[in-house]
Structure 1
Amino acid sequence: MEQLLPRFLEYVGIDTQSDPYSKSTPSTEKQLKLAKKLVTELHTIGMEEVSIDANGYIMATLPSNMEKEVPTIGFIAHMDTTPDFTGKNVSPQIIKEYDGGDIVLNKGKEIVLSPDYFPELLQYKGQTLITTDGTTLLGADDKAGVAEIITAMEYLREHPEIKHGKIRVAFTPDEEIGRGAHKFDVKKFGAEWAYTIDGSQIGELEFENFNAASATIKIKGKSVHPGYAKDKMVNAIHIANQFLSLLPPNEVPEKTEGREGFFHVHKIKGEIEEAEIELIIRDHDAQHFEARKQLLKDIAGKLSDRFGDFIELNIENQYFNMREKVEPVFHIVEIAEEAMKSLDIEPILKPIRGGTDGSQLSFMGLPCPNIFAGGHNFHGKYEYVPLESMQKAVEVIVKICEFTAIQIK
């Protein structure tokens, strides 16, 4: 367990930001730097069947130490960090025995991590926090999960008295851009079920997530001298503004929670001749999800009737709610829940307001609930993770392996 912190710090020092506009896998070559390091480390701790394929997917095996047959289970985390915020030159700060006050991340830029704005900080008073320096994200999403899985496997290798079946681990690229499972070889992985270690606060245990789609609206215009533009100019920027005004104003990320869905406009650019909007659609309910996609089509149709045939709408499904694939094998959630309770961790069963590799893998035949990795405020400069939460995540992984073996008669 003593290697957990230095292992994590070493991982976050490697920039693995993914790129949604790249067509390659992995989407950025720099992800392979961490991947190659992990392959070496897996060999070092004694894992078997260690492999990395041409797309950067890593798999490895911890063999069973039991005579009876036990289900093969897996643990999965992703190596990339979000393209939303820089992950270059990450310089973590370690706050020991956090006193419950403000944490100055960057004095020169007056960037402060405060419980006044992030009240959940107070539940970690007295613990060791790992934060950013205010200029980058941290990368606990999901390098905390990577470090926890490897540390748990190392612990099991060093403690053969803990009986377990065959365990498979995998580390994937490009999860942050929705492609982490696209080239995952489920048959090669060979597990009956798995867990992604990619959640947030301690205790999170999730088996349902958003249905997700992306949408691109391309608008063509006609540029004419504004002094002579009457009945001639078609201003693509104006049409884009009209499109956005017809979206429900309260159904956005900053005004929704729980199972409430949303539209999230994350990019817009435009000139008179051409404008483009990029947004994502999220909803836990399948019917509501379809209704949201239909609303975009209706808006595009309405504006086409008003302005002419200048609008092109493209909607692509990204992933679906894994609940329907996990519920038929709900014992895999119950094993994780029992593991947490045995460690005096109160399980927090709630829907993921996002997605993980597990959502896609569940539809590919590998049921895959999600377990906490411990971090908070992902995708930005206020990201942090309590060391004690990471340690508990390691213990939960070990207990899941143990309890899976115990429950097989």
Structure 2
Amino acid sequence: MNSTLSPVAERFMRYVQVDTQSDPQSSAHPSTEKQKHLSALLAGELNAMGIEAETDVYGYVYATIPSNSAKQVPVICFCSHVDTAPDCSGTHVKPILYPAYDGGDIILPDDPKQVIRPADYPYLLQHTGKPVITASGLTLLGADDKSGVAIIMQLAQYLVTHPEIIHGDIKILFTPDEEVGKGTAMLDMQKLGADFGYTLDGGELGTFEDETFSADGVEIRIQGVIAHPGYAKGKLVNAMKIAGKILAALPSEEWAPEVTEGRQGFVHPVRIEGAAEQAELEFIIRDFDTKMLAVHEERLKNIAAKVLAEYPNAGMTFTVTEQYRNMKEVLDNFPQVSAYAMEAYTRAGLTVTKEPIRGGTDGSRLSFMGLPCPNIFTGMQAIHSRHEWIGVHDMEKAVEVLTELVQVWEERS
């Protein structure tokens, strides 16, 4: 590790080496015990700074930076998640620092077939001459969301060592299992005790997100008819074949994530499992307009029912589960939360780029749990993949934005 590297980058490079991958098939909280290793490390570092912090049995970290203001200031929370995505290995992450990126292709040394090209990631060119961090080619990097973790930790260190920065009470929250949709499942909101929040889980420098997808999950369970295959004529109804026909009946030129963008919603099969007698299909349903979820679900149900009509002896159940809702529905009632953030961006010399998230964050759930919570950039790029990378400058500017933001809240109180 380079001794001249900025403190936030040094933190980041340490944190990504702790394996915290979550498990979507686990019913435990957290879904993997190894997430607690980073939680314990973070709580220990905060306590060493003189900030009261604790981690619980579920892997959450709660901490408080006390107010040094004479005013009554709303309590602000900064939140990031410790887990990394199950899409790509997070074991034995080896972060590589390029102190001054030269503008060319980056060949990852542990698998030279993995090349991060500016042609594929044009934003990389904005970091020419600046430090960039990648993984080694065999794993993801973990910038999602250990960049957010490092930024919040660096903010904490800065505020402790710069008491001239006047602010109200600040809560720090690190969550497990965000990547598997359980980031707030065991969260103690009373213990957190915040009025408003911000997740640090965004991408390019200057981006600010106060709108997410609304999301449901759907399970289609198909009940076939089993029979000995040697004597199955006129009897056997294979549930797996029915499942395959349902998938084949889905539109391929629209309504799918691979052909949609912007504000277009989609229906996406994410898991198929079963045998001849019974099979299950799982889907995620996404749209920025919550009312459209029911429209998408009815369309999917009709597609499945049309296939099932060809098999009168088969059965089907169609189960919808609410996952999260568009945070904008809450944030529109608290315009100051976004307005103060955008003022902080401006003070830090940034132009704000507002864009909707084609996904969700802990902030989606937190907003509906009583903590209005938009999302601030960290710089993370090519997330959930071996090509994941981050520019150190972006993390440094995020720390600056948070420093300005706590002062804006204090000044406006």
Give the TM-score band, short-chain normalised.
over 0.9
- Per-residue CA deviations over 1:24-46 (Å, capped at 9, x if unaligned) read 11111001111111110010112
State how far apart, in whole Å, the 2-side matches of 1:311 and 1:261 are.
25
State how far apart, in whole Å, the 2-side matches of 1:233 and 1:163 are.
73
Partner of 1:380: 385
Stretches of structure 2 lacking an aligned partner (at least 5 in a row): none
2:110–2:136 CA contact under 8 A, matched in 1 = no
TM-score, structure 2 as length reference: 0.94
Does residue 178 of structure 2 align to residue 175 of structure 1? yes
Does residue 122 of structure 2 align to residue 119 of structure 1? yes
1:11–1:143 CA contact under 8 A, matched in 2 = yes
Deviation for aligned residue 1:229: 4.9
State how far apart, in whole Å, the 1-side matches of 2:29 and 2:62 are.
16
Of 297, 306, 317, which residue of structure 2 is paired with 1:293? 297
Deviation for aligned residue 1:174: 0.7
Count of residues paired in the alignment: 407
2:39–2:59 CA contact under 8 A, matched in 1 = yes
Partner of 2:142: 139
Partner of 2:376: 371
Moved over 6 A (4+): 225-228
For the residue of structure 1 that corresponds to 2:320, the secondary structure is strand
For the residue of structure 2 that corresponds to 1:306, the secondary structure is coil
For the residue of structure 2 that corresponds to 1:239, the secondary structure is helix
State how far apart, in whole Å, the 1-side matches of 2:64 and 2:222 are.
50
Partner of 1:76: 79
- Per-residue CA deviations over 1:59-110 (Å, capped at 9, x if unaligned) read 1111111112211111001111111111000011112221221110146441
Deviation for aligned residue 1:224: 5.3
State how far apart, in whole Å, the 2-side matches of 1:228 and 1:40 are.
66
Deviation for aligned residue 1:161: 1.0
Alignment of 1:30-49 (within 5 A): 30-48=34-52
Does residue 266 of structure 2 align to residue 243 of structure 1? no
1:209–1:353 CA contact under 8 A, matched in 2 = yes
Partner of 1:319: 324
For the residue of structure 1 that corresponds to 2:222, the secondary structure is strand
Alignment of 1:277-288 (within 5 A): 277-288=281-292
State how far apart, in whole Å, the 2-side matches of 1:361 and 1:108 are.
39
CA RMSD in angstroms, aligned pairs only? 1.8
Does residue 218 of structure 2 align to residue 232 of structure 1? no
- Per-residue CA deviations over 1:263-306 (Å, capped at 9, x if unaligned) read 12222345433433222111111121111122222233323322
Of 264, 287, 294, which residue of structure 2 is paired with 1:260? 264
2:111–2:138 CA contact under 8 A, matched in 1 = no
For the residue of structure 2 that corresponds to 1:272, the secondary structure is coil
Q: Which amino acid aligns with 2:167?
A: H
Partner of 1:356: 361
- The percent identity for this pair of structures is 45
State how far apart, in whole Å, the 2-side matches of 1:375 and 1:108 are.
21
